[in-house]
A and B are shown apart, each in its own frame.
Chain A
Amino acid sequence: MAFVAVLVGIVLSWLMRLHLGWTNLAIPGLHLLSANGAPGNVMTPEFYLQLMTMHATIMVFFVLTTAPFAAFGNYFLPIQVGAEDMPFPRFNMMSFWITFSGFLVLLSSFFVGDGPTLGGWTQYAPLSAIGTAGGPGEGTGVVLWAVSITLFCIGQLLGSLNFITTTLDMRTRGMSLMRMPLSVWAWFITSVMGLTAFAVLMPACILLILDHVAGTSFFVPSNLVVNDQLLPHSGGSTLLWQHLFWFFGHPEVYIAIVPGMGIVSHVLIPNMRRPLLSHRVMIYSMVSLAVLSYMVYGHHMFVSGMNPISSIAFSFPTLVITIPATIIVLIWLGSLYGSRLRINTASLFALGFISMFISGGVSGFFLAQPSIDILLHGTYFVVGHFHMVMGVAAMFGIFAGTYFWFPKMYGRMMNETIGKVHFWITFAGTYAIFMPFHYLGLAGVVRRYQAFAPDYMQRFTPVHQAITIAALTTGAAQLLFVYNVIHSRFWGKPAPLNPWEATSLEWSTPSSPPPFDNFGGKLPVVYHDPYQYGIEGSTGDYVMQTSPEQIHTKSDEV
């Protein structure tokens, strides 16, 4: 599902990029997507915003949350802790189908009334709560959006429930918490975040729906006049939605990125043939990221008009949260330093993840200062920042996971040559797209504008055109990945059971793909830490978690 969603998301971003580069370009077939958003196949400003909203919603919710967390997590978390299955398989199925129906509801808004909502993925009230007075798509479109996200929340809550219970209760013999692979830790931390974050977004969406269909005034203030209409609502709080939304919204970006961190660590370690500098510090850093992520949400609201003192209060933890993030990066770099890294597509994408995370993270330092953020908040600087650190980095995590686990999932290897070409085009393309965003932002180019034709930003149009070309190229390169997945699925080289010579439990299953109960009727017993590579005194350079071989290492004595 995430696969379809990401393709839809990419196409939407193409449409927007084309429009930004060539404002009056007619895109054939565009009118099919919108009843009156594209007269003569030329995008109207409103339709641009509708596309932007849908791109963001699909990408953030239905790709970055589902793919690295729900998809890989559901497949590999039970295997990696040595369980036959999740404890509540029925909830799991419900979780998938509810999420899927949420996606369908969201897509259906393209074909209803004036089309989807144009309020952005943050859907700021009051403008999102006033119905059609707010513009096309603000009536039915918003309601469909809110229904879709409510469904999504329910799906994720059920999923998180399963993840947490599996991790706590279904571990096999010998699998202590510290013997869980980092990917399991990442999914576990993510599901704890998801449980608390989506439980807040869901009531917010319900209140938003009520403001629409039941005439309540949770979010709409008194005497609000929009488009010369006095609205019947009264007394609502204009900031309430932002508080509820960002209390969810900031943990959400960590929900997107932490599974990536876990996957990247899990992919890098077997390729480095050595464990990370510290398993524990890595885990503690991810936990503190999760805890801090609830205390920083106000940094999205520096320009909302809230009390400046709260800006400072939110700025401080925002800077503090860079400490665990930096520790994580330093652990990766320190572990990589001097290791003889096996270069394959999975490890390349893992390196790409680290690169994106650093590049995108550094711009976060600037945005964490309220005074600088006020200048940059409405510009492409922010767009570049979050696309790199959250969007593309998480995508690289997904790619790394796919190339790494594909042999386990389908019993066949993916094509390395195509994979490497795919990596290099994607890596270069990503920088070509998102680095210029930072410069555009510093130069004052405003985000969420559909065109810059008559004003001072017009001279940047060539930059936008260049970005558009890069985006089209990079997007097209993803076809290589699609081809590689489909081709390798059916005609790829048969994979050995443990192609990466890795130690964790998913490589000890009796077949690839694993049998229905994961281990063929016998649960494994775990004797070792998850990443035993390059151990002196052992028979090889790695020791499987299930190997009863006695080895004497410091970490075992502890």
Chain B
Amino acid sequence: MATTVQPPTVTKIEKPSGPKSGNGGWRPLVPVGGDARSVQEYAPPPASTGIWVALAAISMTFAALTSALIVRRGGAVDWQHFTLPSILYLNTVVLLASSVTLELGRRRIAAYMGGVRSTAQHPARWLYVTFSLGLLFVVGQYIAWRQLSAQGLYLATNPSSSFFYVLTAGHVLHVLGGLGGLHRVIRKLSRLDLRRSTLDATARYWHFMGALWVYLLVLLWMKL
């Protein structure tokens, strides 16, 4: 063993705390004078990385289901085609519209937090609209399932209906998760405790749900 020394005293730099300038993380913990935009907290945005990671995992899951569908259909002698309920197209419009309203909401919130108070309106209004459209989408998907089961197509009726239910139900579950996220954002906004990264991550997730649904719709339309 070579000669050893005590490790030298370590210089440590404290994490910056307290008010900071700039428009970075906007999480106004202590609203000064009732104004939401004054205090910034040093906040590394792990949420934005985390959401990309989560989206990668969700993509893998649906990619696996897609490959299962293609393999299952390739070797099938019993595959029955059926027409997709037309309400699905309406649902698509609803979900895409909710993405648009979410973006409008984000602009409004950013303007509000950035100090440009363009209107006296509550900035969460568009988020409520998005949330309702999301709920409407879930209800619409439920109606689509009811229509299919009225035709006698259940989960176990045929592989095509099995995949339809599995893929749509999987997607709806993820949309419900997104609704939970939106609810959290609205709650945090009303408490003036919202981080930009939280909102951005939720928005990314929500747009991804829209894109995933369009992908699934095309897949189902082509393959069922």
Interface residues of A (CB under 8 A from B): 87-88, 157, 160-162, 164-166, 168-170, 173, 195-196, 198-200, 202-204, 206-207, 210, 214-218, 222, 234-237, 239-240, 243-244, 247, 273, 342, 498, 501, 508, 519, 522-525, 534, 539-542, 544, 546-549
Contact = CB atoms under 8 A, between A and B. Distances in A.
A25 B76 CA distance: 48
Nearest to A162: B50
Contacts of B10: 508, 524-525, 544, 546-548
Given A87-B46, A524-B12, A235 B78 contact: yes
B72 A237 contact: yes
Contacts of A498: 7
Contacts of B46: 87-88, 165-166, 169-170
Contact of B13 (A207, A235, A525, A547): A525
Interface string B7-25: 1101111110000000000
B150 interface: no
B2 interface: yes
Interface of B: 1-5, 7-8, 10-15, 44-47, 49-50, 53-54, 56-58, 60-61, 63-65, 67-68, 71-72, 74-79, 155-156, 159, 162, 166, 170
Given A161-B50, A169-B46, A216 B61 contact: no
B7 to A, nearest CB: 5
A215 B155 CA distance: 8
B71 A547 contact: no
B49 A541 contact: no
A160 B71 CA distance: 29
Interface centre among B63, B64, B75 (most CB of A within 10 A): B64
A203 B58 CA distance: 10
B3 to A, nearest CB: 6
Given A164-B49, A222-B77, A541-B4, A210 B56 contact: no
B156 A215 contact: yes
Query: Which are the 10 A-B pairs with shortest beta-carbon distances?
Result: A87-B46, A541-B2, A235-B78, A199-B60, A215-B156, A522-B12, A540-B5, A200-B64, A169-B46, A216-B162
Contact of A540 (B2, B49, B63, B156): B2
A337 to B, nearest CB: 19
Given A160-B57, A273-B1, 11 more contacts: A87-B50, A195-B53, A196-B56, A202-B61, A203-B170, A206-B166, A235-B78, A240-B71, A525-B10, A541-B1, A541-B4
Which of B2, B4, B12, B170 has the most chain A CB atoms closer than 10 A to its own CB?
B12
Contact of B79 (A235, A239, A342, A522): A235
A357 B121 CA distance: 65
Contact of B156 (A216, A342, A508, A525): A216
15 contacts: A88-B50, A160-B57, A165-B46, A170-B46, A195-B53, A195-B56, A196-B57, A210-B155, A210-B166, A237-B74, A519-B12, A525-B11, A540-B2, A542-B4, A548-B10
B72 A199 contact: no
Contacts of B57: 157, 160-161, 195-196, 198-199
B41 to A, nearest CB: 15
Contacts of A240: 68, 71-72
Nearest to A232: B156
B78 A169 contact: no
Contacts of A239: 71
Contacts of A195: 53, 56-57, 60
B196 to A, nearest CB: 15
A523 B13 CA distance: 7
A450 B54 CA distance: 43
Contacts of B44: 87, 169-170
Contacts of B14: 522-523
B15 A523 contact: yes
A235 B156 CA distance: 12
B2 A525 contact: no
Contact of B3 (A199, A342, A540): A540
A555 to B, nearest CB: 19
A105 B61 CA distance: 23
B181 to A, nearest CB: 13
Nearest to B170: A203
Contacts of B60: 195-196, 199-200
Given A203-B170, A216-B159, A244-B64, A236 B49 contact: no
Contacts of A244: 64, 67-68
B159 A218 contact: yes
Given A207-B68, A523-B15, A199 B4 contact: no
Interface centre among A162, A239, A546 (most CB of B within 10 A): A546
A516 to B, nearest CB: 16
B75 A237 contact: yes
A218 B162 contact: yes
B59 to A, nearest CB: 8
A400 to B, nearest CB: 20
A534 B1 CA distance: 10
B162 A173 contact: no
B220 to A, nearest CB: 16
Contacts of B68: 203-204, 207, 218, 240, 244
Given A157-B57, A203-B64, A235 B2 contact: no
A547 B4 CA distance: 14
